[in-house]
Each structure stands twice: as C-alpha cells, then as structure tokens.
Structure 1
Amino acid sequence: MQLYLMGLWETVRDFIATGGDVLYLVFIALLIMWIVLVERYWYLLGVFPKDRKRIIEQWEARKDTTSWYAHKIREAWVSEVSVKLNSRMLLLKTMIAVCPMIGLLGTVTGMIAVFEIMAVQGTGNPRLMASGISMATIPTMAGMVAALSGMIFVTRLDARIRRERDKLLDSLPHH
C-alpha cells in the first residue's frame, strides 16, 4: 500500500512539474469546490429532512392555515429553508467559473516560458520548447476538467434543491 501511495505521489508530482505551479492553484480551487459540494450534499441529505419535518409538524399543529398571517408565516418558513438550501451555491458556481480561468493563467505563463526559451536558445531546441508547450496546455486541461467535474454535480444539486423546496411547499397546504 505504501509503495502504491508513493507511486501515486510521484505521478502527481511529475504532472505538476510538467504543468507548472499554476496547477497548485487549480488544485486549491478544486479542493474548495469539492469540500463545499460534499457539505451541500450532507446538508441536503442529512440536515434538511429534519428541518422539513419540523416545519411540516409546525404547520400541521397550527389551527389557522387559511388567513393572510398564516400564509405569511408559511412563506417565511419556506424562505428561511430556501436560504439554507441555496447557501454557498454562488461560491460553487464561482469556483466552477474560476477553474478554467486559472488554467488559462497557466497557458499564459507556459507560453511566456516558450518565448523565453526561444529568445535564449532560438528555435533549434525542440525539447525545451515542448516542455514550455506542456506548461501551456496542461493547466488549461486541468482547469477544464476541474470545472466539468464540479458542473455535473452542481447542476444535479441545483435541480435537487429546487425539487426539495417545491415538495416542501406542496407539503404545506393552504386551504
């Protein structure tokens, strides 16, 4: 197991060396995005059902569910839960948008490295130019993969949040 982990670490280190230091920024953005995604799913699947149950019990315990005041209380409860459900969704969507931008930063720094090599060595050393081109393309690819991985789950999470909110509204009848 230890040998496998060491081999994995070597592979990651080689990948970062090929793509440049910008990959650390992509990794940090990806880590933040996935920590928040896991937290949002934890809330949606673990905490929200208890909140929904509590609100439905409070609504059913009310004697008055038809007056204007009752409707405003219902709206306030649903609004409060909606805020909790949508909490940090903007951060997630921002991280998805930032990942490709960080990758493009890597492209720019990689191309600068290629131009520096060309200025110093000329165009006669293709091996050195290839390393600069790798530094230009790998961060872009990493940023795009990071964004796509988050986009899939955030889209599903967003749809699930809307569905749960609508189910809560349907569970609070207003006669």
Structure 2
Amino acid sequence: MENDNILLSVQHLLAPLDQFMSQGGVVLWWLAAVVVICWLLVVERVVFLLCAFPKQRQQWIEQWQQRQDHDSWYALAIRTAWLDKAHIALTRNLSFIKVLVTLCPMLGLLGTVTGMISVFDVMANLGSNNPKLMASGISLATLPTMAGMVAALSGLFAHSRLVKKCQLTEFKLEKALRSQR
C-alpha cells in the first residue's frame, strides 16, 4: 500500500517533465541524455576535487618535505613528475565536458529544424488554416532550442568554474612543492 502511494507520488511529480519532453520531441530526449552525462562528469570532478585529490596532494607534500635534497636534478624530476600527474588528474574529463556543453546548442538547433519541418509538413498537407496543428510544430521547434541554450549556459558556467578551480589547485600544489621545509 505504501509502495503504491510512493509510486503515485513519483508519477505525479514526473508528469510535467514527461509532458515537457513530449512537447519538445525526440531531440529533447537526446539533449536530456547529453545533459545528464555532462552533469555526472561535473559532479565526479567536484567529488574528486573535494575528496580524492587533497589526500594525494598531502601525500606528495609530505614526501617532498621528507626529502633531504630539493635541488638536485633527480629531486626536480620527481617534483615535475608529481606536478604532471596532478595536472593530468585535475584536467581529466574537462575536455569531454566542454564537448558536451558545445553539443547542447547544436542539439537545440537540430530540434528547431525538425520542429520547423513538422510545421511546414502540416502546412503542406493541411494548409495554414489550422493554427493548433502549426502550434505543436512550433513548440517542437522552440522547446529544444530553449533547453539547449539553458543547458549550454549552465554547463559553460560549471566548466569554467571547474577549470579555474583546477588551475588554482595546481598552482597551489606547485607552490607547496617549491617551498622547502
């Protein structure tokens, strides 16, 4: 009984989303998949920056401070290798996130084109006398465009913040490994 109530509540909450997605057409579902993948990668980067990287950073700093020699070629090679590993770890998936963000307005534009094709198809088959049929095609055209732009703007903001945070984190690590005891 309780499970049925929960299921009905979830269905009630998802009904407006389903209606929005059906008004936007198939392209809107593709856009939603891209957005979900993009935000999963953003969340993964945030968790990495907050949880995993600080442990590795602390380990590198402790190992550097325990070294007697900080100026030899070998010591500088170790430091450079750690900084390179940090750069690779910090920038992982950032390019892919940027590609997904770039893809969002393109999918919105694809939705515009498919929606307008639908409008022209209705006009060709039934004439331009029925505004209700044309309105459904216009919603097919405008909703994916709007959704693609919103997704791109929010993804662009998240990507730029991640890039800045990664650059700052990398700079701080380099500074910490440069200083001596």
Q: Provide the TM-score with structure 2 as the length reference.
A: 0.92
| Local SS of the residue matching 2:128 | coil
| Residue number in structure 1 paired with 2:110 | 105
In structure 2, the residue matched to 1:35 is 40
Quote the residue 2:160 is aligned against: 155
Deviation string for 1:70-114 (max 9, x for gaps)? 112111101111100000000100110001111111111101100
Flag as ranges the 4+ runs of structure 1 deviating above 4 A.
Answer: none
- In the TM superposition, residue 174 of structure 1 has moved relative to its aligned partner by 5.6
Identity percentage over the alignment? 46
TM-score (norm 1): 0.95
In the TM superposition, residue 63 of structure 1 has moved relative to its aligned partner by 1.2
1:67 corresponding residue in structure 2: 72
Post-superposition shift, 1:8? 2.2
1:120 aligned residue: 125
Q: Which runs of 5+ in 2 are unaligned?
A: none
What's the counterpart of residue 150 of structure 2? 145
- For structure 1, list consecutive stretches of 5 or more residues without a partner in the other structure: none
Structure 1 contact 74–172 (Cα < 8 Å) conserved: yes
Give the CA deviation at 1:69.
Answer: 2.1
Superposed displacement of residue 165, structure 1: 0.5
Q: Is the 8 A contact 1:99 1:147 kept in 2?
A: yes
Q: Which residue of 2 aligns with 1:6?
A: 11
| Alpha-carbon distance in 1 for matches of 2:179, 2:149 | 46
Indicate if the aligned counterparts of 1:118 and 1:129 stay in contact, CA closer than 8 A.
yes
**2:108 is paired with a residue of what secondary structure?**
helix
Residues in 2 aligned to 1:152 and 1:22: alpha-carbon distance in whole angstroms: 23
Choose which of 82, 86, 95 in structure 2 pairs with 1:90: 95
1:52 aligns with 2:57: yes
SS of residue matched to 1:66: coil
Contact in 2 for aligned 1:65/1:174 (Cα 8 Å): no
1:23 aligned residue (9, 12, 28):
28
Shift of 1:10: 1.1
Distance of 1:174 and 1:4 partners within structure 2: 58
Aligned length: 175
64-73 or 20-29: bigger deviation: 64-73
What is the SS of the residue equivalent to 2:129?
coil
- Counterpart code for 1:6: Q
- Among 165, 168, 175, the residue aligned to 2:170: 165
Alignment root-mean-square deviation, CA:
1.3
What letter matches 2:44 in structure 1?
Answer: E
